[in-house]
Amino acid sequence: MKVLVAMSGGVDSSVAAALLQRDGHEVVGVTMKLWGGPSDAGCCSVSDVDDARRVADHLDIDHHTFDFGADFARHVVDPYVGDHQAGRTPNPCIACNRHLKFDRLMERAAALGFEAVATGHHARVTTHADGTRRVARGADRAKDQSYVLHVLDQGALARVRFPVGDRTKAEVRNLARALGLRTADKPDSQDVCFVSATGGRRAFLEPRVALTPGRVVDGDGLVVGRVEAVELVTVGQRRGLGLAGGGEARFAVHADPVAATVTVGSAAELLTAEQAVGGVVWAAGPCSGATLVQCSAHGVPRPGDLVLGGTASDCAGEVTVRWHRPERRVAPGQSVVFYEGDEVVGGGTALSPPAAGGPAPR
């Protein structure tokens, strides 16, 4: 099989390429050039491209670089900025997986005659008796990346390969050492590639959008603090709200950049009985009833029930999660992923709670 391997310059994709080559496939490596701005974190640095190329040389496979910078700006960076403007908490890595690694890259691979695309994600693909496929958790639960892959449809699942998904991270590194790969002990990439570790979100957003100073109010509308930028506040945030010390801990329960207001409340006020989820993508058709719900990349799954149609709409792409017990609300914009055992059945984006007498804001 002719396989195009997305090589980020990390150990996982390096070993993925080596395993496919060992199994007799015709392997070609590619590194996607996504972000051309300053970066001191993530997976888009010049050194990462160099590491990927050197690993390909070591394995004696061809290596190419695809410039998808314009697609990355349109599908990842611009929505990231727009979400902050709207008071949502974006998840750019999922947008990158959806639009770049498993849309744009697969399109290019097909045009070049590749039968499959492989990545170094810690996940698996399971196939059911009826031929449908699902993303499943990787063998290493601590490194599992099924959450960020919930956007894959049946077409993508039929063509994607995750060669390291049935191995632990320790096993992957040991194999890389045995193969003499330069990436064997390279640290994992943890951060958003276009947001520098030194400047953070504020330094990235300030040249691109006007940040709004705002007031912090309690449930009665009494001003209790100030923030320099409402757009940088996330639901559930406790620090950086300009609150006086002492007393009961208070958290951001709502951020409204238009009104330049952040509302705070107690930990109990963060709890909710249900969560509206929009833009839902299903692995193999809509599901309802009992499910496990994961609300962050490495969060603990929470039990709930899926109700199709949402709380304020009959839209097919909207569902409501009714928690089995009150749970902390999810920041609007974050991905909410549904599991049946270890398998992803679908997922979407957390919506804001509906306003009194009105539908949930998009």
Instruction: Return the sign of the alpha-carbon dihedral for residues 190, 193, 194, 199.
Output: positive
pLDDT value, residue 188: 85
Judged by DSSP in three states, 124 sits in strand
Catalytic residue among 96, 287, 295, 315: 96
Give the span between the Cα atoms of 249 and 40, in whole angstroms.
34
Q: Tell which CATH architecture fits domain 210-266.
A: Roll (2.30)
What are the start-end ranges of the E strands in the chain? 2-6, 26-33, 62-67, 116-118, 123-127, 133-137, 160-161, 214-217, 223-227, 251-256, 261-265, 271-282, 289-294, 302-308, 319-328, 335-340, 343-350
Q: What are the φ and ψ backbone dihedral angles of 342, each rounded to 5 degrees?
A: -95, 0
Residues in a beta bridge with 30 = 6, 64
Output the pTM of the full model. 0.90
Taking alpha carbons only, the member of 271, 301, 358 closest to residue 347 is: 301
Q: Which fold has domain 271-350?
A: Elongation Factor Tu (Ef-tu); domain 3 (2.40.30)
Taking alpha carbons only, the member of 236, 255, 220 closest to residue 330 is: 236
Measured from the Cβ of residue 310, the count of other Cβ atoms closer than 10 Å reads 21
pLDDT value, residue 72: 93
In the chain, domain spans: 2-179, 210-266, 271-350
pLDDT value, residue 288: 93
Catalytic residue among 193, 287, 295, 315: 193
pLDDT value, residue 94: 93
Examine the residue annotation and report whether 193 is marked as an active-site residue of this protein: yes
Residues in a beta bridge with 168 = none
Give the span between the Cα atoms of 336 and 346, in whole angstroms.
9
Per-residue pLDDT of the chain (362 residues; tens, 9 = 90+): 999 999 999 999 999 999 999 999 999 999 999 887 655 555 556 788 899 999 999 999 999 999 999 999 999 999 999 999 999 999 999 999 999 989 999 999 999 999 999 999 999 999 999 999 999 999 999 999 999 999 999 999 999 999 999 999 999 999 999 999 999 999 887 668 888 777 789 999 999 999 999 999 999 999 999 999 999 999 999 999 988 877 789 999 999 999 999 999 999 999 999 999 999 999 998 999 999 999 999 899 999 999 997 544 444 579 999 999 999 999 999 999 999 999 999 999 999 875 433 334 44
Give the type of residue at 312.
A
pLDDT value, residue 198: 78
- CATH among 3.30.420.40, 3.20.20.100, 2.130.10.10, 3.40.50.620 for 2-179: 3.40.50.620
Examine the residue annotation and report whether 287 is marked as an active-site residue of this protein: no
Q: What share of the chain is helix, strand, coil (3-state, %, to 5)?
A: 25, 30, 45
pLDDT value, residue 43: 59
Is it true that 2-179 and 271-350 share their CATH fold? no
The tokens for 190 are 């943890």
